[in-house]
């Protein structure tokens, strides 16, 4: 079993509107047998934070196109994307890309 971990989740670029307009969430992921990765985190977010219209945030087992995921201020692509193993106190940001000008 792995110990519970604390994360700061942030939503921006309009993605926060799916979470009652709240940008910052301090969350604790419970103890489980396998280490937490982002794939598990997305399922946890869908079950615990997303109230409705989850298809506007998650498609299949990943985020919908147009949302950039950051792990401690780096593009998640540099960190292993869905397989990144979450560490206690990580800051995970989900930001919707903007198109207005």
Partner 1 sequence: MDSAELESLREEIKKRDQEILCLKEQLRDGPSSCQQSDRSSSLPKLRSINEELPPLSRLSLSNAEIIRYSRQLVLPEFGVRGQLCLSQCSVLVVGCGGLGCPLVQYLAAAGVGRLGLLDYDEVEMSNLHRQVLHSEEKIGVPKAISIASALQPLNTTVEYIPYHTMLSPANAVPLIRQYDIVADCSDNVPTRYLVNDACVVAGKPLVSASALRWEGQLTVYNHEGGPCYRCLFPIPPPPETVTNCADGGVLGVVPGIMGCLQSLEVLKLASGKASSYSGTMLMYDALDGRFRNIKLRGKRVDCAICGSKSEPQILKDYEVFCGSSASDKCRTLNLLTAADRMTVLEYKKLLSDGVSHLLIDVRPQVEVDICRLPHSIHIPLSQLEAGNAADLLGDKTGTAECGGQKKLIVICKLGNDSQKAVKILQGLSENGVGKFIVKDIAGGLMAWAEKIDPAFPKY
Interface with partner 1 (CB under 8 A):
12-14, 23, 51-53, 56, 64-68, 70, 73-75, 77-78, 95-101
- C-alpha to C-alpha distance for 9 and 11, rounded to whole angstroms: 7
Closest approach of Cβ 77 to partner 1, in Å? 4
Rounded Cα gap, residues 48 and 8, in angstroms: 15
| Nearer Cβ to partner 1 (18/29) | 18
Smallest separation (angstroms) from partner 1 to the CB of 42: 16
* Nearer residue to partner 1 within complex by CB, 38 or 67: 67
What sign results for the dihedral spanned by CA atoms 42, 47, 50, 54?
A: positive
Tell the smallest beta-carbon distance from residue 1 to partner 1 (Å).
33
CB of 4 or CB of 77, closer to partner 1: 77
Nearest residue (CB) to partner 1, 43 versus 74: 74
Report the distance separating Cα 52 and Cα 84, nearest Å: 26
Burial class (CB in 10 A: 0-12, 13-18, 19+), 34: exposed
């Amino acid at each position: 079993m792995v110990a519970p971990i604390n994360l700061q989740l942030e939503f921006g670029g309009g993605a926060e509107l799916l979470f009652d307009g709240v940008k910052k969430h301090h969350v604790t992921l419970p103890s489980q047998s396998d280490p937490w990765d982002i794939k598990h985190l997305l399922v946890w977010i869908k079950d615990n934070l997303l109230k409705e219209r989850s298809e506007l945030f998650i498609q299949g087992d990943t985020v919908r196109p147009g949302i950039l995921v950051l792990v401690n201020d780096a593009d998640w692509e540099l960190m292993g994307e869905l397989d990144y193993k979450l560490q206690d106190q990580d800051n995970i940001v989900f930001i919707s890309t903007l198109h207005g000008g």
